[in-house]
Every structure is written in C-alpha cells, then in structure tokens.
C-alpha cells in the first residue's frame, strides 16, 4: 500500500489535482482522507498499485 498527499489553495485547483491522480488506471484506491484547514485543501489518498 502507498499514500499520495495532495494539496491545493483553491477548490478548483484541488479538484483538478485529485481528479488527475484518480484518472491513473494503474492504481486501485483504498481510501481518501480529506481535511480543509483554514487556508488550503488537503487529501491523503491511500492506494495499491494494480496488478
């Protein structure tokens, strides 16, 4: 299992980064943890490399 941390200063920028990562067909998403501190958006994507 691996993790990828994604951050963005705006919702639009953050969404774009997350969607680009999720479009990778060589990975299998296990879970996504999301937080929205005061000044930015952040997510930790837990994934496995597809076999």
Residues ≥6 apart with Cβ < 8 Å to 17: 6, 7, 8
| pTM of the predicted model as reported, rounded to 2 decimal places | 0.84
Residue 50 — very low, low, confident or very high, per pLDDT cuts 50/70/90? confident
Domain edges within the chain: 2-49
Side-by-side strand order, sheet with 41-49: 2-8, 41-49, 27-35
- Tell me, what's the pLDDT at 10? 93
Q: State pLDDT tens for residues 14-39.
A: 999 999 999 999 999 999 999 988 88
Tokens at residue 11, please?
């919702």
Is the C-alpha dihedral spanning 43, 40, 18, 12 positive or negative?
positive
Residue 49 has pLDDT above 80, yes or no: yes
């Amino acid at each position: 299992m691996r993790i990828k941390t994604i951050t963005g200063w705006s919702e639009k920028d953050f969404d774009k980064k997350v969607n680009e990562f999720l479009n990778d067909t060589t990975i299998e998403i296990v879970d996504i943890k999301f937080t929205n501190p005061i000044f930015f958006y952040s997510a930790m994507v837990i994934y496995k490399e597809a076999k």
